């Protein structure tokens, strides 16, 4: 593969992939916060 195809593929997919992956993480965080909210933990500890 010539240098420029290599370079641009890496640059575009690399940057795009990084953005996409971090966006997935932010969605993941929002989901995790919804599934495991703070309140339930306090309640379950109180039960003990």
3 touching other proteins, by CB under 8 A = yes
4 touching other proteins, by CB under 8 A = yes
CA distance linking residue 1 with residue 45, whole number of Å: 60
State the DSSP string of the chain: --HHHHHHHHHHHHHHHHHHHHHHHHHHHHHHHHHS-HHHHHHHHHH-
Residues 8 to 37 in contact with other proteins, rule: CB under 8 A: 8-11, 13-15, 17-19, 21-30, 32-33, 36-37
Residues near other proteins (CB under 8 A) are 1, 3-4, 6-11, 13-15, 17-19, 21-30, 32-33, 36-38, 40-41
């Amino acid at each position: 593969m010539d240098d420029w195809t290599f370079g641009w593929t890496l640059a575009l997919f690399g940057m795009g992939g990084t953005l996409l992956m971090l966006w997935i993480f932010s969605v993941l965080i929002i989901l995790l916060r919804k599934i495991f909210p703070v309140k339930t933990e306090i309640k379950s500890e109180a039960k003990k």
